[in-house]
A = this chain, B = another copy of it.
Amino acid sequence: MLENSSRMELSELGEFGLIKHLTQFVEIKNESTIKGIGDDAAVLDYKNKQILVSTDMLVEGIHFDLSYVPLKHLGYKTVAVNLSDIYAMNGTPKQITVSIAVSNRFSTEALEDLYNGINMACIKYGVDLVGGDTSSSRSGLIISVTVLGEADKQNIVYRSGAQQNDLLCVSGDLGGAYMGLQLLEREKQIFIETPGIQPDLEGYDYILERQLKPEARKDIHDLLRLLEVKPTSMIDISDGLASEILHICEQSKTGCTLYEEKIPIDPQTFETARLFNLDPTVCALSGGEDYELLFTIAMSDFDKIKHNPDITVIGHITDQASGSNLVDKTGNVHKITAQGWDAFMKRND
């Protein structure tokens, strides 16, 4: 799409023209959005709610590779992963701002694709795009998103609330986004070595979608409300299960026991990991980008969630002195590290 024949140069529009052009289809969906794009600041009104704010910056060549990520998907993913942070606080996202810096390698059409993806995610999750900034960069594309959400004070869930004996739960399954990335990287290498060859991605739909078009778990947020379960702590899995568990334990001043055999891994993730000579557990622990919710609940809430196929109990919270440990399938105990996989990598050596 970067080679569109009717390419419109960014310089033809100018900054104000570009913002207007890219945001012309933005419609306000939330009552709390008093004024969106077009003034010095957006104006929001949350009445008696508390407000949640989260921000993320994505850099070409570091966080994404446009040689295999379509810009529309990138726009969608950028929004989804930011909303994920608000759901991880048990809140409801309401507004986003999006700032981009682009080099002149990009056409207006390319940025339209990006904004189409952004807009699709806004519609799907019911959030309003209320502001942003557009500027030049010397190399590549940089996207910075800030999301605002709301919650009743008593509903907000911090990372710090886990209590001893709480159950450690995770939504969905893990490691898929990482395996999707491995697959895309492999096909890219093949393409570099043999230009013109078609990528062989058939049969990998699930892990590709996990990597290219992840969703924020609004459904889990809604489900927990329906089941009347308020987690004691929660975080979304962006850096990998191990890293997120340590955040919860550190901030809650607890330890934990995690059971390898309980970690939910999709068969396609499992098979692909094996094919790539990777340990599926390692991928789940440290792969990252799954954007599932990791949370703790009181033991007394177990009956409410136990039959739900989208929630898996993977361990429990212990006292801080016990540390954060993983019990592997053979019953051996490993210390969980920030990288998540030191012990496991050794096991595979």
A102 CB, min distance to chain B CBs, angstroms: 10
Residue A131 at the chain B interface, CB threshold 8 Å? yes
Residue A185 at the chain B interface, CB threshold 8 Å? no
Interface residues on A, range: 35 or more
B residues near A48, Cβ cutoff 8 Å: 47-48
B residues near A62, Cβ cutoff 8 Å: 101, 135-138
Whether A52 contacts B41 by the Cβ 8 Å rule is yes
Q: Which of B53, B59, B88, B99 contacts A42 (CB 8 A)?
A: B53
A141 CB, min distance to chain B CBs, angstroms: 11
Whether A142 contacts B101 by the Cβ 8 Å rule is yes
Residue A85 at the chain B interface, CB threshold 8 Å? yes
Whether B46 contacts A131 by the Cβ 8 Å rule is no
Residue A125 at the chain B interface, CB threshold 8 Å? no
Q: Which of B16, B45, B63, B85 contacts A50 (CB 8 A)?
A: B45
CA distance A21 to B41 in the complex (A): 30
Q: Which of B59, B99, B137, B236 contacts A55 (CB 8 A)?
A: B99
Also in contact, A99 and B144, with CB within 8 A (given A45-B51, A55-B131, A131-B53)? yes
Chain B CB within 10 Å — which of A52, A55, A56, A85 has the most? Answer: A55
Residue A139 at the chain B interface, CB threshold 8 Å? yes
CA distance A59 to B143 in the complex (A): 12
Residue A342 at the chain B interface, CB threshold 8 Å? no
Overall SS of chain A's interface:
strand
Residue A316 at the chain B interface, CB threshold 8 Å? no
Whether B142 contacts A140 by the Cβ 8 Å rule is no
B residues near A149, Cβ cutoff 8 Å: 41
B residues near A46, Cβ cutoff 8 Å: 46, 51
Q: C-beta contact mask, A111-133 vs B, less than 8 Å → 1, else 0?
A: 00000000000000000001111
Residue A146 at the chain B interface, CB threshold 8 Å? yes
B residues near A144, Cβ cutoff 8 Å: 55, 57, 99, 133, 144
Also in contact, A41 and B57, with CB within 8 A (given A139-B138, A144-B144, A158-B35)? no
Residue A189 at the chain B interface, CB threshold 8 Å? no
Whether A51 contacts B43 by the Cβ 8 Å rule is yes
A143 CB, min distance to chain B CBs, angstroms: 9
Residue of B nearest to A139 (CB): B139
Residue A11 at the chain B interface, CB threshold 8 Å? no
Contact residues of A between 172 and 230, Cβ < 8 Å to B: none
Residue A153 at the chain B interface, CB threshold 8 Å? yes
Task: Name the 5 nearest CB pairs between A and B, nearest first.
Answer: A144-B144, A41-B54, A41-B52, A40-B88, A57-B99
A-B contact pairs, 13 of them (CB 8 A): A16-B338, A39-B159, A39-B160, A40-B89, A40-B159, A41-B53, A43-B89, A44-B50, A53-B95, A55-B144, A56-B99, A62-B101, A138-B139
- In addition to A46-B51, A53-B130, 14 A-B residue pairs with Cβ atoms within 8 Å of each other are A41-B89, A41-B91, A41-B147, A42-B54, A43-B51, A43-B156, A53-B95, A55-B132, A55-B133, A55-B146, A56-B99, A59-B136, A99-B144, A138-B139
